[in-house]
Amino acid sequence: MDVRVSHVRKEFDRFPALHEVSLDIKSGELIALLGPSGSGKTTLLRLIAGLERPTSGKIFFGDTDASEKSVQERNIGFVFQHYALFRHMTILENVSFGLKVRPRSTRPPAGEIRRRAMELLDLVQLSGLEKRYPSQLSGGQRQRVALARALAIEPAVLLLDEPFGALDAQVRRELRKWLREIHERTGHTTVFVTHDQEEALELADRLCVMSQGKIEQVGTPDTVYDTPSSPFVFGFIGESSELPVTVERGDVWLGDRPLGISAADGQGPAKLFFRPHDIELVEGDAALRGVVATSRRVGGTRRVELELGGASHRVEIDLPFDHPAGERSQISFRPKRWTLFPAT
């Protein structure tokens, strides 16, 4: 089912949690809503679910205006950060619940419900644990039950709100891979809320980056990472270094120093953004030159913080070797890939 959020605004007591946002979610895609705390991710998810009503604007499920429909009418599968499993029910009963409470006219026969629930437990790799209670499972296993329960009703849309937020880093990584596999097998239209950019980059077909109740950019992980549309997105997705520069007749300058890179258009003050790994070491004057301030290990490389222009600016670059800090450690480099934004 494709979902169209059209000019939706949401206020809480006159506070605009969402300014007019529009978003087309394609049938079968996994889209991640990504942004810092308070950017409006959960509000947008709750509006899609039908747990909140828009102050203005509409939400379409396929061609149908769903704005006034309830959660049940929209047929939503939900997984939250804190497992909302029923504690007094077994795992099998939890997964069967959504089908058992259906009105008689749409409820499958008991045998069919059981068969479907067992199939889903197999899909989430929990076969054999169906008689256990939630308290007898690990956090990761409980989230897998929650997903099986959400899938049992064959939802039109699956909504996941920080589903792995409460789990430790390793379990998170495993569940991420696993969710991607399940998604490929089941193909549900899925909206996933996270503030973890690594999780979003790895999992999603497309990212929707949000800030202060607005959508900043929507695109594939590659597009958003390689061509961020704003300084906010550049800084939020991946590591970034930023310098205030001037563009003059196609050349980029930091103060009175030419950087040896050219700008196709634009003139005057600008912000230069680049990623720590997108640099090359160079000789000569047309380059950035700095003194090593700090150096630390990041995975297989060293992340080195350089002071430029007499300590007036700091940037981070990645080097394949260690460098002692101090005046004697001067490094000249040039960004290999960069983005210029107008300085506003």
Q: Contact positions toward ligand ATP, by CB under 6 A?
A: 12, 15, 17, 35, 37-43, 195
What's the min distance (Å) between Cβ of 55 and ligand ATP? 12
Contact 91, 130 (CB under 8 A): yes
Looking at beta carbons only, is 38 or 235 nearer to ligand ATP?
A: 38
Shortest Cβ 83–ligand ATP spacing (Å): 17
CA dist 249 and 130 (Å) reads 70
- State CA 209 to chain mean position distance: 7
What are residue 127's phi and psi, to 5 degrees? -60, 140
Residue 41 or 74 with smaller CB distance to ligand ATP: 41
Report the nearest approach of ligand ATP to the CB of residue 46 (Å): 8
* Minimum separation from the CB atom of position 40 to ligand ATP (A): 4
With respect to ligand ATP, which residue has the nearer C-beta, 32 or 182?
A: 32
User: CB 194 → ligand ATP: shortest distance, Å?
Assistant: 9
The CB-of-52 to ligand ATP minimum distance in angstroms stands at 8
DSSP string, 158-181: EEEESTTTTS-HHHHHHHHHHHHH
For residue 198, what are the contacts with CB-CB under 8 A and spacing of at least 6? none
Nearer to ligand ATP, 42 or 94 (CB): 42
Enclosing H/E stretch for 5: strand 3-12
Query: How far does the chain reach from its first CA to its final CA, in angstroms?
Result: 41
**Cα(155)–Cα(164) distance, integer angstroms:** 20
- State in angstroms the smallest separation of the CB of 197 from ligand ATP: 13
**304-325 burial by CB neighbour count: b if 16+ within 10 A, else e?**
bbbbbeeeebebbbbbeeebee
Q: Check: CB of residue 252 under 8 Å from CB of residue 262.
A: yes
40/231 with CB nearer ligand ATP = 40
Q: Is the Cβ–Cβ distance between 98 and 153 less than 8 Å?
A: yes
Q: Which is nearer to ligand ATP, 5 or 124 (CB)?
A: 5
Nearer to ligand ATP (CB atom), residue 34 or residue 146? 34
